[in-house]
Amino acid sequence: MKRPAVSRKVVLIALGVVLVGTFGFIMARTGPLAATRVTVVQVEEGSVTPALFGIGTVEARRAWLIGPTTAGRVKSVQVDVGGAVAAGEVLAEMDPVDLDERAAALEAGMARAHHAIAAAEAQRQDALARHEVAALNARRYQDLGRDRFVATSAVELKVQEQTSARAALAAADSNLAAARQDLLRLQADREGLRQQRRQARLLAPAAGVVSARDAEPGSTVVAGQAVLRLVDPASLWVRVRFDQGRSAGLKPGLPAQIVLRSRPGQPLPGRVARVELLADAVTEERIAQVAFDAIPEDLSVGELAEVTLQLPTGDRGPVLPNAALRRQGDATGVWVAAHDGLRFVPVRTAAASLDGLVRVADGLRPGDRVVVHAERELAAGSRIRVVDSLAERGK
């Protein structure tokens, strides 16, 4: 079958038109001739609520390391991790080694001291008696000597005897005092030993929960080393680290939302309890403690938490999305899509919120249309085509 040449010509021309049309369409949609697709937004008058975001770990405000004051061996540990303890409860005991024997030795020493006191007392009585006799003799000989009944030398002898007896009495007095002092010394020694014995028992300084059991009975620990660790579960808070560059406005009392890693969907209310004066110079972070309004059940120390602090809402002004901000050289600004084309307007941001809105201090008026998303880098002469959305998923 042979078709007329005219119809063939028409088909050919139609084919040619389709081909050239497709080619032209593609050239206009892609490549350097095409307009850049952008999305725009109108600048609105409004205010942004700045917020700070940081991460931290749950820590205990009050925690204790319980250990001996001298090196020694652990004799027994009465409590285990997780156990609640009351203030003053015995948690563990150190091996007293020879403390009890030394106490027995001291007791014996004290008994001996008592006897020594008694002996000294008796010696003093004896010396007193000797002295009284010597005094009587001396007086008598002095009377006789004055009437010249005895020789002077005999009188002098009796006087010397009286002096010696007085000295012996003084010595006996001193002996007695020394024996009493000895007893006092031994009593003090015994008191010290009792203190040491008491130190061997490790007591809870306050009510809390045992968080770690670092040494078992039989192990040797040095002075200051922990046998047990105690935390006060009522004092748990979050030690949060904020990037220094985004920590302006951080102060105690700010309301906080705490999201624990174990329950991502449940923000817990809290409040900044303390802002530490010392910032971390190495990590360039500031540190603040955020307390829970109500401490949740089953909270674990060391758990990671994300904390968002709400700052007071700032002044009103032109508000736009942060994706609109561009950097041209050293200036930050936005592309304003005016009727006569694109214009780069430098702006200064005054406040930013966590949901991506910024308030600019100057450069823009509410109602200005600014480019938010752009397919390509824009320039002052760029042709643009405004679309609703640029991102086709999965492309």
Partner 1 sequence: MISLAGRDILHSWSKFVLTGLGLGLLIGVTLSMAGIYRGMVDDAQALLDNSGADLWVVQQDTLGPYAEPSSLHDDAYRAILGMPGVARAASVTYLTMQVRQGETDVRAMVVGFEPGQPGEPGRLVAGRHITRGHYEAVADVKTGFGVGDRIRIRRHDYTVVGLTRRMVSSGGDPMIFIPLRDAQEAQFLRDNDAIINERARTAANPALNRPGVPGLLEAIQASQTSSRNVNAVLVRVAAGAQPEQVAARIRRWKRLQAYTRMQMEDILVAKLIATSAKQIAMFLVILAVVSAAIVAFIIYTMTLGKIRELAVLKLIGTRNRTIAGMILQQAQGLGVIGFVVGKTAATLWAPVFPKYVLLLPGDALRGFVIVMVICAVASTLAIRAALRVDPATAIGG
CA angle 220, 222, 224 (to 5 degrees): 130
Determine if 31 is a binding residue for partner 1 (CB under 8 A): yes
Q: What is the largest CA-CA distance in the chain?
A: 193
Determine if 374 is a binding residue for partner 1 (CB under 8 A): yes
Closest CA to 231 of 81, 36, 89, 45: 81
Q: In the window 49-68, what residues touch partner 1 (CB under 8 A)? A: 53-55
DSSP characters for 17-84? HHHHHHHHHHHHHSSTTSPEEEEEEE-EEE----EEEEEEEEEESSEEEE--SS-EEEEEE---TT-E
Determine if 14 is a binding residue for partner 1 (CB under 8 A): no
Question: Which residues, in sequence order, are bridge partners of residue 307?
Answer: 54, 258
Q: Which of 10, 26, 84, 133 binds partner 1 (CB under 8 A)?
A: 26
Minimal distance in Å, beta carbon 356 to partner 1? 3
Q: Are 137 and 162 in contact (CB under 8 A)?
A: yes
Phi, psi of 384 (to 5 degrees): -125, 155
| Binding segment toward partner 1, per CB under 8 A, in 107-115, 188-196, 230-238, 367-375 | 367-375
Q: In the window 151-190, what residues touch partner 1 (CB under 8 A)? A: none
Q: In the window 244-273, what residues touch partner 1 (CB under 8 A)? A: 245-246
- Measured from the CB atom, the residue of 105 and 323 that comes closer to partner 1 is 323
Cα dihedral 283, 289, 291, 292, rounded to 10, equals 0
Minimal distance in Å, beta carbon 287 to partner 1? 14
Q: In the window 312-331, what residues touch partner 1 (CB under 8 A)? A: 321-323, 325-327, 329-330
Minimal distance in Å, beta carbon 73 to partner 1? 12
Q: Is 298 left (phi over 0), alpha (psi -120 to 50) or beta?
A: left
By CB under 8 A, name the binding residues for partner 1: 5, 8-9, 11-12, 15, 19-20, 22-23, 26, 30-32, 53-55, 220-222, 224-226, 242-243, 245-246, 282-283, 306, 321-323, 325-327, 329-330, 352-356, 372-375, 377, 389-395
